[in-house]
Structure 1
Amino acid sequence: MPHHGEDPRTRSDRPWADPARPVEERVAALLDAMTLPELVGQLHQPANVDLERDAALLAAGAIGSTLHASGATAGNVRDGGVSRDRVDDLQRAAIESSRLGIPLLIARDVIHGHRTVAPIPLGQAATFDEQVVHDVAARAALEASADGLTWTFAPMLDVVDDPRWGRVAESFGESPLLTARLGAAAVRGFQASGLVTACAKHYVGYGLSRGGRDYATAEVGEITLRNRHLVPFRAAVDAGVGTVMAAFCDVDGVPMHSHHHLLREVLKGEWGFDGVVVADWNGIGELVEHGVAADLRDAARLAIEAGVDVDMVSGAYAAHLAALVEGGEVDLELVRDAARRVLRLKVRLGLLDPDCASLPGRGDLAGSHGLGLDRALAREAAARSFVVLRNDGMLPLRPRPTDTVLLTGAYTRERASLLGTWVLDGDPEQVSAVAPAVVRALGELAELAELTAGAGDAGGADADGDAVGVVAEPTVRRVLVDDGAFADRTLRLARDADLTVAFVGEHAARSGEDGSTSDVGLPPGQLEVLRGIAALGSRLVVVVLTGRPLALGEVLDLADAVVLAWHPGTEAGEALADVLVRGVPATGRLPMSLPRSVGHLPITHAERPSGRPLPDEARGRGRYIDAPSSAGVPFGAGASALAYGSLTAASGEVTRDGEAVVTLEVTNRSDREVREPVLLFLRDEVAEVTRPVRELVDVQVVTVPAGASVPVTFRVPAHAFGYHGRDHAFRVDPGRVVLTVGWPRADASAVVLDVV
């Protein structure tokens, strides 16, 4: 046992601590030095390891990693936060008290920001921009690593088409291609510094939870898995993701934590993934509840054989794995392989290097607090995530000097919920609230130096004596701020207003893990108030803040303008003020279709054709007697400043190992530079299996100066036209494909190509 204060990693007899040696050589040397209990220890991940309570386990090398979490559904339950000094104390104990001095992996759910909080991932997906997602992840990792964290459980790569499921907030939406590209960008961002590893979750099929119910079964065949749900995970593996998390669900009756085929044969075998597969919270223990394991000992055997390397919190491996090996029920090499993967990750992160920045004495104890917030990044990401669903000339707001403007709704002054789900370390007090920011922006229209009412938090009273914000002349006659707590008061204020801006939507607690809902409309009471405001005849702008796509059909009919703002993060207020008042273009597109009703779910743009094609809905026909079958607002929709020219192809043919080149010209019709996504869709008309009627196949994000026209060129490899067939092998068929740009725009253009 080393003396207190001695760093075992600096001893000359420890070849695994030499950064000059190859990674695999270092890992092999360490494996050869480890006992069976120490090997098993690397696979044990308890939550919130305590220096005193767990001192003996740390000294025995019986803990390989820990996660800081407030519980099994930490997304909407805040804890005391993470600090660099606590993490350093933990690492110091693991290093100095144990025989081999192996540091821990310190994990935490850093999903869409750490201290600086960006929009929820679904909001980031609305930008369709890999650079935005990369930069947000890189900033989150920088702040997390400053606190000594080395592992984040993001990005979530479940392809989703049912917004009843609360975890759609953590997703990149319904398109496999978009999820794959943004997921890979997030992986590269999180891992850019080399100090933090990302985790692709939840492998696989979790987004198919039946009825949108969390943890439910996934009914899916392997062809659909390979053509849709496995696509983003393969992209993450190709991007170098360090870890993959097994899903809670079963797939066609086999729980993922015991799915030998998908974990060991596909992920680790076919794809060659050499990283770590981690269980989800108590996922191994829950094999008993699934009914495939008799007890925790049996669950440990099933999981290690299937390919789960790290046991998160169930304790199954710590309690039973060594005995299973000694009894001949589990092959020692399975345990060594799992430990090898954990140690390989630690070497790659530099944790076995004496000068690693993540280890005690190498970081500022101020941690991420010392970095401050990157408000500019959060503000830009938020503004670019907003989707304008309707704008009848109302935006940007230009109230007349005689107008009274009412800002109403629970989100006028709310701060914490603007951060969205799965925010553990963001400070609500640092959030830019909506009403003060919008009032301030309205004041800027008349170049006012100050607002008379403290940026709209108070400063006047309505007829009932309740506080309202009031802005000095001559911007508008007054701006009233109402929190919407009393619908009758709201309607009284709206009666006297010339323009009402209503900030409605879901609280963050309604989304995220264990946040499923059977209704996808606005929460109770909100639609009734909007109806009342609209009936008064004043102009109405509705801003919807939410963690999921909602059925907003009636809202679109009631309002003059509707903005879908997701949960925007730290700079929510300023970003909304930029778009609503300052004229910053909102160029977001829907990454998930908005349903007409809950009865239309699940729904996706990539529906496959049936033997009886959908009738012409323009004539009021569809699969339902009482409603059209299509989405209320389709995937890819959103206001645009660009006019599209015709799509043309460089050649009418493309070889199966070649590249299709198609081009169009876009023209910026606005007086401001815009950065917008241009979407390309595919229809493969004849294939071995049914292919989507329309499927996103490429995205180009273009910057166009005001009034200018620029060419947009898509270079699409014929590989993108391929799919997995009846034998599950990937294939590219000869035949005709149709490429469409701009759908669902009225000016969409298409070309037909022959694949030869």
Structure 2
Amino acid sequence: MIKNKITAILFLGFVLQINSVSAQKRAVDRIDLKVDSVLKLMTLDEKIGQLNQYTGDRDATGPITNSPNKLKEVRDGKLGSMLNVRGAKETRAVQEVAMQSRLKIPLLFGLDVVHGYRVTFPIPLAEAASWDLAEMENAARVAGRETAASGIHWTFAPMVDIGRDPRWGRVMEGAGEDTYLGSKIAYARVKGFQGKGLGNLDAVMACVKHFAAYGAAIAGRDYAAVDMSENALWEYYLPPFKAGLDAGAATFMNSFNTLNGVPATGNNYLQRDILKGKWGFDGFMVSDWGSIGEMVAHGFSKDKKQAAEQAIKAGSDMDMESRSYLPYLAQLVKENKVDIALIDDAVKRILRKKFELGLFDDPYRFSDVTRQEKEINSAANKQASLRMAEKSIVLLKNNKQTLPLTKSLKKIAVIGPLAKSEKDMQGFWSVSWQNDKLISLYEGLQNKVGKQTELLYAKGCEITDTSKTGFAEAIAIAKQADVVVMAVGEAYDMSGEAKSKANIHLPGIQEDLIRAIKATGKSVVVLIMAGRPLVFNYTADNADAILYTWWLGSEAGNAMANVLYGDYNPAGKLPMTFPRDEGQIPIYYNHLSTGRPAKNDQDTRYRSAYLDMQNSPKFAFGHGLSYTTFDYADLKLSTKELSQQAKINISFTLKNTGKFDGEEVVQLYLQDKFASITRPVKELKDFQKVMLKQGESKTINFVIDKEKLSFYNQKLEWAAEPGDFKLMIGTASDQIKLESEFVLKDE
């Protein structure tokens, strides 16, 4: 009887699954029929209009070509989308104009919602330092809800470019240098933005960008060329894009750079062969701001007319602000230089998303003022930002358990150019608001210490000062205190798009200020606020404790205060390598070996090493301390000989051996010791974030299978080769606690 019931339940589940798949297919078929019916009604000019996107009059993110008759063009059906129009009232007003067009095709409204909409979250690179996928998905979920409630259908995020060069300002917008971690984060963020799926009123379309390899710009100069092997492209730079696609990303954005001589915007191989061909992407591709027209400056196109031809043929569906498609595509079709089928395919991709969003049923369904007022800037959203900010902080150094601070401190000196800053806590690529309120470090400490502790303050210097006139006051203040908390780093607009820097040292005379305060003999805790890895060797060597706090968003000061006092035990780990000097860049943990490797920092004779500097970074990928300590022990492998179809079960014991409850990010690395293509010295292949109470132990389990051992071989085939592998488990890429080896057998 029980067996029959189980069989019946399984059969019912199977039937329901089949019915669900069938229902989804029917829904897709219905939308396709609707798209085709609209397409048949459209003139060529109306079709081309759908491929055209203009900016509104606020929040411009590139050079604007004046268009005094934008609303007339909307009314004439010459526009498919607008960006930088935000707010339920504002989007409704523009959509009403679109409803006066002949076919009443609704507009899409897009905005760069990169790390929060009304409530600002930590910059993406900071969030990546949390290694907390669920929390990052939730951050994108909150941003998606607030964005959708403000009449916006589409965010130009996440940026999933792998960034190995901290001179490139846009590293702040990504997930760091590692392909595995970056892919996991890309998937989580797309899921967060899109929620339960397009059509839900709290979901926005994600846009995975920038396709592709933008993060490898030569010398870290934004918009510069990229030149790399096919193997590097497929192995390191494409996987996060595939992860975003697998998460269901509605749209992609191409990139400004050339790739091996061909601009990405006009790159058939990237957009047609890989994305829409091999990967089967059925959403649409939008150009980056003006990138179609910029192919002229690249020397790839003679003029905008040729650029329009090359872009549409290569698979760029929507022209963002280059004004190339609208003037020239119709003429190109009439001259038989562009097949109308290419226009139709691009239009259908865009119309399909408008149907999926439900805009044809109700063009104003996202423009609800009441829902906007209820959703944005809520207490729950601020709490999510605080939680994300706490998890993003990385404890780089903590000599003699300087941190956490004790409640018994009578006087704390808060010194530095960022101690009372609010605006800088917002970071680059944030949505601007009038009368916005962010929490500075000083205010966060005020909220924390109450009346029992006196806060003393001195700025000391500005971020880029060359004058030391403020040092005397800062020194006098420091001498009165029990401990000094220093807030240094970058201004919010020093990292981001078009913010490449040849010198990434801590700006101005800030390290001189730290040196002067350290000379007082007081215990010095340094908080570094920035959008990229910086060089700060004196501070790294001499400060008693260092917290890397990035730009943490709306609740920055409260998060920093919670960590300083131990109400949150920091667990962040660096998602990028921190160099000792710019001369080491690019520097990243998963580099290839060499025929003459340096075995240590002193081994420089006829070795791959510098004469004047160590090879090793200042802080390695994956580095991050805790107020507690963890012990790794008792590594076990279920087998040391793995067949192609089998798996290795790995276990070890992790114990919290310190005095605080805390989280540890356990990192698993592999090395393929001998292969047909030289493999990296180590590669992150899995990780777990584990919470342990003081004294608690837990058995941690990992599984290694063929997929984790695979790579792109000389024929660009994804395959695992038989041979010897090294297993490494640790707390950072340079802090390996457990090691073993195993063999993948040839079958």
Taking structure 1 as the reference length, the TM-score comes to 0.88
Q: Does structure 1 conserve the Cα–Cα contact (< 8 Å) formed by 2:220 and 2:500?
A: yes
Please, what is the CA RMSD of the aligned residues? 2.1
Deviation at 1:102, TM superposition (A): 1.4
**SS in structure 1 opposite 2:55?**
coil
Deviation at 1:20, TM superposition (A): 9.5
Say whether 1:418 aligns with 2:421. Answer: no
**Could you say which residue in structure 2 is the equivalent of 1:503?**
487
**Could you say which residue in structure 2 is the equivalent of 1:92?**
96
Q: Does structure 1 conserve the Cα–Cα contact (< 8 Å) formed by 2:108 and 2:154?
A: yes
**Could you say which residue in structure 2 is the equivalent of 1:461?**
none
Pair 1:548–1:140, CA change in 2 (3 A): same
Deviation at 1:305, TM superposition (A): 0.7
Deviations 1:352-402 (A, max 9, x none): 2338732x568646475474661211111111111101101111112755x
- Runs of 5+ unmatched residues, structure 1: 1-17, 70-81, 444-450, 452-474
2: CA distance between counterparts of 1:688 and 1:660? 23
Pair 1:344–1:367, CA change in 2 (3 A): farther
Aligned positions of 1:442-453 closer than 5 A: 442-443=449-450, 451=451
**Could you say which residue in structure 2 is the equivalent of 1:628?**
614
**Could you say which residue in structure 2 is the equivalent of 1:8?**
none
1: CA distance between counterparts of 2:734 and 2:332? 60
Q: Does structure 1 conserve the Cα–Cα contact (< 8 Å) formed by 2:460 and 2:513?
A: no
**Could you say which residue in structure 2 is the equivalent of 1:170?**
173
Single out whichever of 714-723 and 338-347 deviates more from structure 2.
714-723
Deviation at 1:715, TM superposition (A): 2.2
2: CA distance between counterparts of 1:700 and 1:400? 36
Q: Where do 4+ consecutive residues of structure 1 move more than 6 Å?
A: 18-21, 49-52
Aligned positions of 1:478-489 closer than 5 A: 478-485=454-461, 486-489=470-473
1: CA distance between counterparts of 2:268 and 2:29? 34
2: CA distance between counterparts of 1:246 and 1:37? 24
- Runs of 5+ unmatched residues, structure 2: 1-25, 59-66, 462-469
Q: Which amino acid in 1 is paired with 2:90?
A: R
1:328 to 326, 336, 339: 336
**SS in structure 1 opposite 2:487?**
strand
Deviations 1:221-251 (A, max 9, x none): 1110000000100111111111111110101
Pair 1:310–1:355, CA change in 2 (3 A): closer
Taking structure 2 as the reference length, the TM-score comes to 0.89
2: CA distance between counterparts of 1:52 and 1:744? 55
1: CA distance between counterparts of 2:709 and 2:291? 36
Q: Does structure 2 conserve the Cα–Cα contact (< 8 Å) formed by 1:355 and 1:362?
A: no
Q: Does structure 2 conserve the Cα–Cα contact (< 8 Å) formed by 1:417 and 1:507?
A: yes
Pair 1:665–1:258, CA change in 2 (3 A): same
2: CA distance between counterparts of 1:361 and 1:119? 28
Q: Does structure 2 conserve the Cα–Cα contact (< 8 Å) formed by 1:84 and 1:366?
A: no
**SS in structure 2 opposite 1:354?**
coil
Q: Does structure 2 conserve the Cα–Cα contact (< 8 Å) formed by 1:438 and 1:581?
A: no
Pair 1:236–1:361, CA change in 2 (3 A): closer
2:509 to 518, 522, 525: 525
**Could you say which residue in structure 1 is the equivalent of 2:14?**
none
Deviation at 1:426, TM superposition (A): 5.3
Deviation at 1:55, TM superposition (A): 3.1
Q: Does structure 2 conserve the Cα–Cα contact (< 8 Å) formed by 1:665 and 1:709?
A: yes
1: CA distance between counterparts of 2:666 and 2:380? 31
Q: Does structure 2 conserve the Cα–Cα contact (< 8 Å) formed by 1:143 and 1:371?
A: no
1: CA distance between counterparts of 2:214 and 2:371? 39
Say whether 1:299 aligns with 2:307. Answer: yes
**SS in structure 1 opposite 2:518?**
helix
Pair 1:21–1:399, CA change in 2 (3 A): closer
**SS in structure 1 opposite 2:418?**
helix
Q: Percent identity, aligned pairs only?
A: 34
Q: Does structure 1 conserve the Cα–Cα contact (< 8 Å) formed by 2:670 and 2:682?
A: yes
Say whether 1:156 aligns with 2:159. Answer: yes
1: CA distance between counterparts of 2:341 and 2:148? 33
**Could you say which residue in structure 1 is the equivalent of 2:82?**
66
Q: Does structure 1 conserve the Cα–Cα contact (< 8 Å) formed by 2:175 and 2:185?
A: yes
Deviation at 1:713, TM superposition (A): 1.0
Say whether 1:101 aligns with 2:89. Answer: no
**Could you say which residue in structure 2 is the equivalent of 1:755?**
744
2:696 to 704, 708, 724: 708
2: CA distance between counterparts of 1:685 and 1:237? 31
1: CA distance between counterparts of 2:111 and 2:50? 18
1:260 to 263, 268, 271: 268
Q: Does structure 2 conserve the Cα–Cα contact (< 8 Å) formed by 1:527 and 1:555?
A: yes
Aligned positions of 1:600-639 closer than 5 A: 600-617=584-601, 623-639=609-625
1: CA distance between counterparts of 2:443 and 2:408? 20
Deviation at 1:62, TM superposition (A): 1.2
2:669 to 681, 687, 699: 681
Q: Does structure 1 conserve the Cα–Cα contact (< 8 Å) formed by 2:87 and 2:152?
A: no
2: CA distance between counterparts of 1:574 and 1:84? 31
Deviation at 1:57, TM superposition (A): 1.6
Deviations 1:158-194 (A, max 9, x none): 1011111110000100000111000110000000052
Q: Does structure 2 conserve the Cα–Cα contact (< 8 Å) formed by 1:346 and 1:352?
A: yes
Deviation at 1:299, TM superposition (A): 0.4
Pair 1:714–1:271, CA change in 2 (3 A): same
**Could you say which residue in structure 2 is the equivalent of 1:37?**
45
Single out whichever of 301-310 and 615-624 deviates more from structure 2.
615-624
Pair 1:429–1:99, CA change in 2 (3 A): closer
Pair 1:429–1:670, CA change in 2 (3 A): farther
Deviation at 1:587, TM superposition (A): 0.2
2: CA distance between counterparts of 1:29 and 1:661? 54
Deviations 1:20-44 (A, max 9, x none): 9622222222222222111111110
Q: Which amino acid in 1 is paired with 2:419?
A: T
